[in-house]
Structure formats: structure tokens, C-alpha cells
Structure 1
Amino acid sequence: MIPMTIDFKIKLKDALCCNDQDFLELHKNKYDINHRFADENNDSLLQYSIKNSETEVYKYLLSRGADLFIKNDLGEMILHSVIYSNKIERLDYLFQTYPSLTKIINDTNIEGITPILFSIIFEQKAFFDRFLQMGADIHLGEKEDVTPLHMACLIKFPDPKDNFEIVRTLVESGASVRLKTKNGHYPLTLAINNDFMDIAEYLFRIMYD
């Protein structure tokens, strides 16, 4: 590990946030490419930068061999981190450039949350669609057995149509409408409790028709 002063760590963060690739290249011998920020849940440089929608230096870090498979203290890896950016093109870049990432598409954080479930929590339908397309397991729930189908009946997207589309897509892809959470909630119950009446009607038909 390359020792760094507090002042240099601040400058390094600034360079990542400000898209200052020149600084990163000029001082590349002064920091470890897989350095972690202790005050950012031990995010690696790559994780920290790919979360930030205002910078593109994550590509530079990748070109220098940054580790794609590091997890931070929350158990989040690159496929979780990229969701924070709200930029689906970043996920597409990762899958196109590093197809081996499909091997960790169902990796969970410390709460048992997979990237596809994470995408619903953060109201990112484009990410949800891409993870599904790339083979994500839609049946995996987190520690409380909340699956993507349950979560789509809990989290209200800015456009309510997205909730319905996700629910329908999950059901048509084989998600069980009869799975309960550890608290005993069916997706139908959650939809009713959260005033998703179109979803509730749809799930009711699936369960009882």
C-alpha cells in the first residue's frame, strides 16, 4: 500500500470528482489504483468515481487495471455502485467491456440485496431492464425475503407506469406472486397498502382467476 497524506487524499478525491485525469496520470505513482476511502464506506477509487455522474475518470481507472471485484464495507460491488450514477450507459459499458461481470450479477451486499433489487430501490427502471436482460435472478430476496416483485410493490417510481411494467415483467418472467416476506406480506398485500391499485388488480387476477 502506498502511504498518502491527508492533503493528498483530499486532492485525489477532488480529481475524481472533477474529472481531472491529468492529475491522476501525473501523480499515478503516489496512490494505489485500488486505494479505498475509509470515510466513504471503504469505496475503492473505481467505486467512488463510477457513482459520480459528473465524472468519467472511472474509464481511466479501469484502463490502469482497477479491480472490478472489490466490495466496500456495505458489501456493495461495482454493479451496485454504478446504479448511484443514474447513467445506464455506464452499466452497458461495463458489460460490453468486461463480460465476466455477468458472473457476479447476483452478488449481494450485506443486506442480501442483489443489483437488480438495488435498481428498484433506487427507482432505476433502465438498470432493472438491463440486469434482467443480462440474466439476473429475479427470485432472490434480501434478508427479509423481499424479492424484486415485493420491492416493485413498495417503492413508488416517479412514473407509476414503471411500477406496473416491472411487476408485469417479473410475473411474466416467472416471479411467484405467492411468495411471502418474513413479515408475511404477499406482493398483493404490499400493492394494496401502497395504493398501487392497478398492480393490485393485476396480481389479484393472477392469483385467483
Structure 2
Amino acid sequence: MGREEDLLQAAKAGNVDAVRRLLGQAGDAEASSSGSERSSVSAGSSGAGGPGSGSGSGSGAMATAGRVAALRVVKQLDSLLGKKPSVNCKDEAGLTPLHHACLAGHETVLEALLRADASLVVKDNKGFTPLHAACWGGHLLLVERLINEVTSVNDASKSGDTALHYAATNGSADICSLLLKRGADAFLRNAAGEAPIDQAALYGRLDAVRVLVEATRKQLGRYSSEKHSPLHAAARNGHVPVVRLLLQYGMDINTRTTNGTCLHEAALYGKKDVVRVLLESGIDVEIRNSGNETALDTLNAFANKTGHEIRDMLVGED
């Protein structure tokens, strides 16, 4: 392995001593060694009485000085024979040592890399930044450290996902809260048209959804688009607590996308518990999707047991 591969692996594994050594941060990685050299010189040249005093002290000091000089030569040769790896070197996926440290949550490695001027804006092959990595990994302390250094918390990857998208998807409510306080835009949509709350709702991240709706409760209508709404996402995957929370905060139960209402989603995907909650909450069963079908119409092509049970619920036979 070359030195850059060594650095990447050390950062990934959290081996801070190896990272410091590879980056030439001798003051950190070899502090104990340097300390022992200094004490040897001091002891050898002492004028106090004892076995080391008298004429022997001069030769001892000279011997120690020779060892120190030899060590310096070795370090110089090491520097000449093998240059320090680039702190921003990348693996095949375009991930740098800082990306790996952020993904894994290695705080001391992160500090060593930042001390070596690791780039905070470098992106991997998919446009993933170190801040994105820390948010995806759910590492609050690292996010707090990075957020003080970056110029924008709304930088997006090639998929259009921001740091808030990654934190919401991961369900890291504390990180979502921090990002919002630092100016993260909760309404930015990725290339698929999804806002961060859509992803949190899709995966049932209740606490993250709560943080997002609390921060934007006066603008909940902005979360609905032609293709997406958090209510639809939660209904589709059967996340009853998220559905209840969104309705509690006043999200329009009859919000319509091209697929219809959230009732269409719940019915089509066989989420009986969500269908029951929506019916109890007064959803309009006559609303049609872009194909001019009601939720009941979408079930006519399905002959499975769950489909029949939901059909009975919709026609009032449950």
C-alpha cells in the first residue's frame, strides 16, 4: 500500500496515531519520544553529585547528542524517501480521509486532519461532502465542529440531497435541530423532488419529523408538491405515529398528489392501520387521482385478502 492508501485506511479505522505520523504531526504522535530524549540530555549534563557527575557527564551528554542527531537524520531520510500523503487524497469512490472520519465518527482523527488543512468542501464521486458524511453517520459532535467551518449548510450532493436530507433520513433529530438553527432550508428538494421531511416520514423517523414540523409549522403547506408530501410518504409505508403527528400539527389530510390522497397510498400498499386512522380522521374518500380513480377504484384490480379487507373498510362494511 502507498502512503495515501495508508492514510485512508488509518482514518477509516480511527487510528489517530497513524494518521498523525503519516501527516508529519510529530509533535502529537511522538511527544513521549521527544520527552524522553530531552530528559536524557538533561540527566547526562547535570552538575549534581552522584554516579553521573564528574568527568563522565561530558561523554554521556555527547553520546546522547549523537543519538538525537542520528534520529534527526533518520527523520530527514524518511521525509526524502517517502513524501507525506495528500491530506485530501481519495479512494475509488472519491472519499477522502476526512469523509471516512466523519462517516465513522472519529473525532480525534477529524481534528488531526483539520490541523493538516483537510478540505471541508471536497466532494466524493456523488457530491458527498464531509458534513454530509457526519450527518449521515449521525455524529452530532462532529457536525457541531464542522458547521462552524463551512460557509453553507445547504450545499447539495449530485442527487440534490443536503445535510438536512441526510440527517432527516437517518433520523438524527438533534442534528436536524442544529442544522435548522444554522440556516438549513427545510424546503429544499432533491433531484427526486423530496424535501427532508419526506424522507424522514418515509422511514418513520418520528423525532426528526417532529423537529421539522415544529420549525416550520406555519408553512406546512409548502411541503406538498405534485409528486410528494410527507403524509403520503408515511401512509405508504404504514407509519401510523408519523401520520398521526402530521395530522395533529394540521397538515391537510386531503392533500392530493398525482397518486391521489394519502388514502390512495395506504390502500394501494395494504396499510390497514393507516387506512383506519385516515377514515377516523375524516378523509374524503371520493377524491380522485390523476387517473380519475378513487382509493376504492385502485383496489378493484387486487384480489388479495388485505385488499378485500381495505375495500370493505372503505365501503363501510368493517
TM over 0.5: yes
Q: Does 1:129 align with 2:244?
A: yes
Aligned to 1:119: 234
Q: Which has the higher contact order (CA 8 A, sep 6+)?
A: 1
Q: Give CA-to-partner distance per residue, 1:117-148, whole Å, 9 cap, x none.
A: 1211233221111111221212222125x112
Instruction: Find the partner of 1:23 among 142, 150, 156.
Output: 142
Cα pair 1:106 1:136 within 8 Å, conserved: no
Query: Alpha carbons of 1:191 and 1:104: their partners in 2 closer, same or farther (altered >3 Å)?
Result: same
Which structure has the greater CA radius of gyration? 2
Q: What root-mean-square deviation, in Å, do the aligned CA atoms of Structure 1 and Structure 2 show? A: 3.1
Q: 2:153 aligns with which of 34, 54, 74?
A: 34
**TM-score, normalised relative to structure 2:** 0.52
1:50-100 deviations in Å (ceiling 9; x for gaps): 21147853333234332333333333223213224422122223344x2x4
What SS does the aligned partner of 1:37 have? coil
Q: Are the counterparts in 2 of residues 47 and 77 from structure 1 also a CA contact under 8 Å?
A: yes
Structure 1 13/149 Cα, relative in aligned 2: closer, same or farther at 3 Å?
closer
* Residue in structure 1 matching 2:163, options 24, 32, 45: 45
Deviation at residue 44 of structure 1 after TM alignment: 1.6
Q: Structure 1 residue 167: deviation in Å?
A: 2.5
Hey, what does 1:147 align to over in structure 2?
A: 261
1:71 and 1:77 in contact (8 A); partners too: yes
Shift in CA distance, 102/131, structure 1 to aligned 2, threshold 3 Å: farther
SS class of match (2:223): coil
C-alpha separation in 2, matches of 1:93 and 1:54: 10
Query: How far did 1:10 drift?
Result: 4.5
Alpha-carbon separation, structure 2, partners of 1:54 and 1:68: 14
| Structure 1 gaps, min length 5 | 158-162
Structure 2: which 5+ residue stretches go unaligned? 1-118
Identity, % of aligned positions: 21
Pair 167,102 (structure 1): closer, same or farther in 2 beyond 3 Å:
farther
Deviation per CA, 1:176-207, whole angstroms, max 9, x where unpaired?
A: 3333333343322333433322222232347x
Q: Which residue of 2 aligns with 1:178?
A: 286
Equivalent residues of 1:34, 1:45 under 8 A apart: yes
Q: Is this contact kept in 1: 2:232–2:262, CA < 8 A?
A: yes
Distance 2:165 2:298 in 1: 33
Residues 1:61 and 2:182 are matched in the alignment: no
Aligned to 1:191: 299
